[in-house]
Amino acid sequence: MSVALQEPGLIVDEEPIRSRRGIVWETVRRRPSAAGGAAVLLLLALAAVLAPVLAPYDLHEQVGPVFGHPSWSHPLGLDDGGIDMVTLLMWGVRISLVVGFAATFVSMVIGGTIGVAAGYFGGKVDTILMRITDYFLVIPDVPLMIIVAAIWGPSLFHIVIVIGILLWTSTARVIRAQVKSVRERVYVKRARSLGASHTRVVFRHVLPQVAPLLIANTVLTIAVAIFDETALSFLGLGDPSRISLGKVIENAFQRAAISTGAWWAIVPPGALVAVIILACSLLGGALEDALNPRLRVSHLAARTFRLRPLVGRGSEVV
Partner 1 sequence: MSGSNGAGPLIAVEDLVVRYAVARGLLATISRKPQHFVHAVEGVSFTVSRGELVALVGESGCGKTTTAQAILRLVEPVSGRIAFDGGDITALHSRALRPLRRRMQLIYQDPYESLDPRLSVRAAVEEPLLIHRLGGSRTERRERVREALSRVELSPPELFLERYPHELSGGQRQRVAIAASIVLGPDLLVADEPVSMLDVSVRAGVLNLLDRLREDGLGILMITHDLSTAARFADRIAVMYLGRIVEEGPAQSVVRDPQHPYTKALLSVVPRRDPRKRSRPEILSGEAPDAVRIPSGCRFHPRCPITIADCREIDPALEPAGAGTGHKAACIRV
Partner 2 sequence: MSGLLEVEGLQVWFDLDRGRELHAVQGVSFSLEPGERLGLVGESGCGKTTTVLGLLGLLPPSASVAGSVRLNGVDILAGGEQTIRPHRWVDLAIVFQGAMNALNPVKTVGSQIVEALELHGLARGRDARLRTGELLESVGIPEARVDRFPHEFSGGMRQRAAIAMALACNPSVLVADEPTTALDVMVQAQILELLDSLCRDFGLALLLVTHDLPVVAELCDRAAVMYAGEIVEHGPVDALYHEPRHPYTRLLFAATPDLYGEGVPASIPGAPPRLDLPLTGCPFHTRCDRAFARCPQERPLLRELERGRSAACHLNDVVAEVV
From partner 1, partner 2, none, interface partner of 53 (C-beta below 5 to 8 A by class) = none
- Whole-angstrom Cα distance, residue 263 to residue 222? 27
Q: How far is the CB of 11 from partner 2 (least distance, A)?
A: 6
* Among positions 22, 52, 153, 208, the unique one binding partner 1 when judged by CB under 8 A: 208
Distance of CA 140 to the CA centre of its chain: 21
Residue 199 in the binding site for partner 1 (CB under 8 A): no
Whichever of 30 and 189 has its CB closer to partner 1, that residue is 189
Residue 180 in the binding site for partner 1 (CB under 8 A): no
- How many angstroms separate the Cα of 297 from the Cα of each of 9, 268, 307? 20, 45, 19
SS3 291: helix
From partner 2, partner 1, none, interface partner of 21 (C-beta below 5 to 8 A by class) = partner 1
Stretch that binds partner 2, among 20-28, 66-74, 75-83, 291-299 (CB under 8 A): 291-299
Cα–Cα–Cα angle for 223, 276, 81, rounded to 5 degrees: 115
Stretch that binds partner 1, among 66-74, 150-158, 199-207, 257-265 (CB under 8 A): 199-207
SS3 297: coil
Q: How far is the CB of 186 from partner 1 (least distance, A)?
A: 4
Q: How far is the CB of 197 from partner 2 (least distance, A)?
A: 36
DSSP code for 316: S
Which residues are paired to 84 by β-bridges?
Answer: 78
From partner 1, partner 2, none, interface partner of 295 (C-beta below 5 to 8 A by class) = none
- Whole-angstrom Cα distance, residue 128 to residue 218? 24
Picking from 61, 89, 95, the residue whose alpha carbon sits closest to that of residue 233 is 95
From partner 1, partner 2, none, interface partner of 302 (C-beta below 5 to 8 A by class) = partner 2
Residue 293 in the binding site for partner 1 (CB under 8 A): no
Residue 195 in the binding site for partner 1 (CB under 8 A): yes
Handedness of CA 219, 220, 225, 230 (dihedral sign): positive
Whichever of 69 and 204 has its CB closer to partner 1, that residue is 204
Picking from 279, 276, 219, 221, the residue whose alpha carbon sits closest to that of residue 89 is 276
Q: Which amino acid is at 161?
A: I
Picking from 33, 9, 26, 37, the residue whose alpha carbon sits closest to that of residue 223 is 37
Q: Which amino acid is at 175?
A: I
Whichever of 4 and 307 has its CB closer to partner 1, that residue is 4
Q: How far is the CB of 198 from partner 1 (least distance, A)?
A: 11
Residue 135 in the binding site for partner 1 (CB under 8 A): no
- Whole-angstrom Cα distance, residue 276 to residue 96? 10
Residue 12 in the binding site for partner 2 (CB under 8 A): yes
Residues that bind partner 2 (CB under 8 A): 1-2, 4, 6-12, 14, 297-300, 302-311, 313-318
Residues that bind partner 1 (CB under 8 A): 1-8, 18-19, 21, 185-188, 190-191, 193-197, 200, 204-205, 208-209
